[in-house]
Structure 1
Amino acid sequence: MIGYLFPGQGTVRVGMGGWLRRDPAGARVFAAADDVHADLDGGLAELCARGPLERLISTDVAQPVVTACNLAALEVLRSRGHVPDIVAGHSVGELSALCAAGVLDVEATLRLVAVRSRLMAALPDVGGMTAVLGLTEQRVAELAAEASAPGEPAVVGLVNGPDNIVVSGALPALQRVADLAVDARKVVSLKVGGAFHSPLMAGAVDDWAAAVRATPMRPPAVPVVPNVTAEPTTDLAEITDALIAQLTGRVRWAETVLRLTDVDTCVEVGDSKVLTGLHRGVGGRCLTMADPTAVRRLRAESVA
């Protein structure tokens, strides 16, 4: 049994997607992404290759470049005859997972991500995100509630592991969380463009919902584990609702990983090792397409 995991926008770096751009199957995805994002100065593939990093990490670029790498890796796997038995994606990576499950085709995925990234980037300055390490989800949620104030919310936005929690919200509230988290192992302010997966994304929800519901979708060929439920499903209506809710909802990645403990091998499908590290942290078996040998190793495991 094989699971595909797709990373999100926090995995960008200069040079990403290098070997995937050189593979014929991957190159076709980058060409399609360049067409969809023809408004990007220098082209999407060129931004992946050369940066600058300051441009890559901006929301309107980070989400498209990560998705291009994810889908390029997916097409490389498809060209070698590999198919998943279950899929999940971290934040914007969920759209790549839907492509892997057959809900969306490559072009529709690229176009939906373009809409998502533009809507989120167009919001006013709406805060940021802070990682709190060494505390439980419940404890961090309590700190976020204590730090919140009228017009300055803070919520748990992502649960990446049992003690790897990301708080999303207004900057003053995030500072209060940092001040209150005296028992944390580490508190790190993340370099992101906004308070993703929080109520501060509400201004983009209506247009995002309209874009999602206007996009043709097919029932998934394999189960999908949405971020906001962390429960495998093949119900297209549930998947659609979860994709909309995800914009302001919590990414329950730690629970998602637990749903995949019976999977023989997971593959991080993209140019990232972040999800591989999180998966191995709970004893799971995971390969990463950031390593070009992953395709060969997956084939060897499939034959064995």
Structure 2
Amino acid sequence: MITSKSWPTAIVSGDREQVADGLREFLTRTHTGVRPADRPRLVFAFSGHGGHQAGMGRELLTAVPPFAQSMAECSRAIEAETGWSLIDLLLDGGPMTEVSVAQPAVWALQVSLARLWRDWGIEPDVMIGHSMGEIAAAVTAGSLTVRAAAELVCRRSALLETLRGTGDMWAVALSEDDARQAIGPFADRVWVCAMNTGRSTTLAGDPDALAEITAPLLRRRVFCRKLKAGVAGHSPQVDPILCDLRAGLSGLEARPGRIPLYSTVLDRFVDGSEFIGGYWTAHARRPVRFASACRSVLAGPPGRTLFVEIGPRSALVGSIEENLIAAGGEGIALPCLRRDVPELTSMMTSLAAVFAEGCDPVRPPARQP
């Protein structure tokens, strides 16, 4: 990465010729931008279930030692709980069709991406976790140890796996009130399980009832998309596993964290000491109030806000941008990893954007020979 003190400049490249071409292009432009003098408020937003794919994180595993070290620690903790090796699965490109495999893998990736950002000197001021993303956020905050969080995510996902195929989840471009109106007579079979923006919700419940609800919406050209979940999370459909989940997490210990975290379950800031078994049992059942979390974060100190989505793919960036516009806030949202973009290139591109927005990395990203 090549930077300039005069202009918000960063060139991301894998070889010398591309750097030279980038510099020549830069020098031919008329530059009117000025790098902000003040650091923006930085938010890590951890995405929920979804976006995972075979071999995710494999390039970073072989190229970036801090990421690899964190993934190895997470893999040992998962293996102690389940008996299978995450590192072996990722390096072999094994499938992640089961909830009990996908969620621990996404959790480990998120913990390691967050640790990589912090190793680069990019520290969050506040964090939000969407659904299971809150488990990785709790580790990053220091409220849960890696071992405790691995037990949590593995036991939670194993129980959710027993429900796979019993429910669906759909993203719909409706406000919470409009979504409840659309549910209408199916209110005992379908529920609003996530409020992502003022105009976007997620519905969960019985597959046939969801098909009845979304069919007229699609005819009206209202955006509706079935999610690859297989489980109607954050709804009454998880009730059959709650007693076992509560019992399995009875020994979970938590402590106050170092970084403020907004709970999308309690709809308020928490210090992390709440993250014991009872919290995560309620977490599996209650709706995700992501839009409210974004509004509350944006209502904080005035100034620019920079959101970095921590996850395997850009799943929250669009919702964050919509919440930014609705709140009249100044800021941007960036993903860590992007579809069809090499992982290290994607991370470096976001690091370059973070620099241009006023955050200074403490060292260039390390790469193994």
Q: TM-score range by the shorter chain?
A: 0.7 to 0.9
Native 8 Å contact 1:143 1:180 kept in 2: no
* 1:233 maps onto 2:288 in alignment: no
CA deviations on 1:63-118 (whole Å, 9 max, x unpaired) are 11111110111221232333322111111101011111110122222221111110
Unpaired runs of at least 5, structure 1: none
Could you say if the C-alpha distance between residues 146 and 83 of structure 1 is closer, same or farther in structure 2, counting changes exceeding 3 Å? same
Q: Residues of 1 paired with 2:90 and 2:293: CA distance?
A: 29
How big is each residue's C-alpha offset from its partner over 1:178-210, in whole Å with a ceiling of 9 and x where there is no partner?
Answer: 234354512222221211111010122223233
Specify which of 35, 39, 43 is matched with residue 76 of structure 2: 35
Contact 1:15–1:51 (CA under 8 A) maintained in structure 2: yes
Residues 146 and 185 of structure 1: CA distance in aligned 2, closer, same or farther (over 3 Å) = same
What is the TM-score when the length of structure 2 is the normalising length? 0.72
What is the letter of the counterpart of residue 222 of structure 1? I
Greater mean deviation of Cα atoms: 284-293 or 105-114 = 284-293
**Alignment deviations for residues 23-66 of structure 1 (CA, whole Å, 9 cap, x no partner):** 2121122223333343576x4234445545xx314211111111
Q: Which amino acid aligns with 1:237?
A: E
Counterpart-to-counterpart distance in 2, 1:259 and 1:48: 37
What is residue 142 of structure 2 aligned with on the other side? 102
CA–CA separation in structure 2 for the residues paired with 1:98 and 1:76? 16
Q: What is the one-letter code of the residue matched to 1:33?
A: C
Question: Which residue is equivalent to 2:308?
Answer: 267
Correspondence list, 1:17-32, <5 A: 17-22=57-62, 23-32=64-73
Q: d(CA) in 2 for partners of 1:156 and 1:199? A: 11
Cα pair 2:252 2:277 within 8 Å, conserved? no
Q: Does 2:257 align with 1:220?
A: yes
Shift of 1:155: 0.1
1:179 paired with 2:215, answer yes
Could you say what secondary structure the match of 1:32 adopts? helix
TM-score normalised by structure 1 residue count: 0.87
CA distance in 2, matches of 1:183, 1:230: 33
2:202 aligns to what SS in structure 1? strand
State the one-letter code of the partner of 2:86. L
Larger radius of gyration: 2
Q: 1:73 to 1:6 in 2, by over 3 A?
A: same
Quick one: which of 130, 133, 142 aligns to 2:181?
142
Residue of structure 2 equivalent to 1:298: 354
> Structure 1 48/166 Cα, relative in aligned 2: closer, same or farther at 3 Å?
farther
Question: Measured at CA, do residues 114 and 139 of structure 1 come closer, stay the same or move farther in structure 2, by a change above 3 Å?
Answer: same
**C-alpha distance in 2 between matches for 1:184 and 1:236:** 45
Deviations, residues 227-259 of structure 1 (Å, cap 9, x unaligned): 223322226237865433121111111111212
Out of 164, 172, 197, the residue aligned to residue 161 of structure 1 is 197
Taking the aligned partners of 2:355 and 2:147, their CA distance within structure 1 comes to 27
CA distance in 1, matches of 2:227, 2:164: 18
Letter paired with 1:6: F
User: Is it true that 1:251 corresponds to 2:293 in the alignment?
Assistant: no
Q: Which amino acid aligns with 2:57?
A: G
Change (3 A) 1:121 1:26: same
Is there any run of 5+ residues in structure 2 with no aligned partner, and where?
1-40, 325-330, 338-345, 362-369
CA contact (8 A) 1:233 1:239 kept: no
Give me the identity figure in percent.
Answer: 26
Counterpart-to-counterpart distance in 2, 1:107 and 1:80: 24
Residue pair 1:132, 1:184 contacting (<8 A) in 2 also: no
Distance in 2 (alpha carbons) for counterparts of 1:124 and 1:235: 30
- Give me the whole-angstrom Cα distance separating, in 2, the residues matched to 1:49 and 1:30: 12
Assess if the C-alpha contact under 8 Å between 2:254 and 2:275 holds in 1: no
User: How many residues are paired up?
Assistant: 297
User: Is the contact made by 1:19 and 1:292 (CA closer than 8 Å) also made in structure 2?
Assistant: no
Mapped contact 2:254–2:272 kept (Cα < 8 A): no
Classify 1:49/1:73 alpha carbon distance in 2 versus 1 (closer, same or farther; 3 Å): same
Does the 8 Å CA contact 1:87/1:97 hold for their aligned counterparts? yes
| Partner in structure 1 of residue 343 of structure 2 | none
Matches of 2:347 and 2:238 in 1, distance apart?
36
Residues 168 and 206, structure 2, Cα contact 8 Å, conserved in 1 = yes
Q: Secondary structure at the match of 1:285?
A: strand
Amino acid at match of 2:69: R
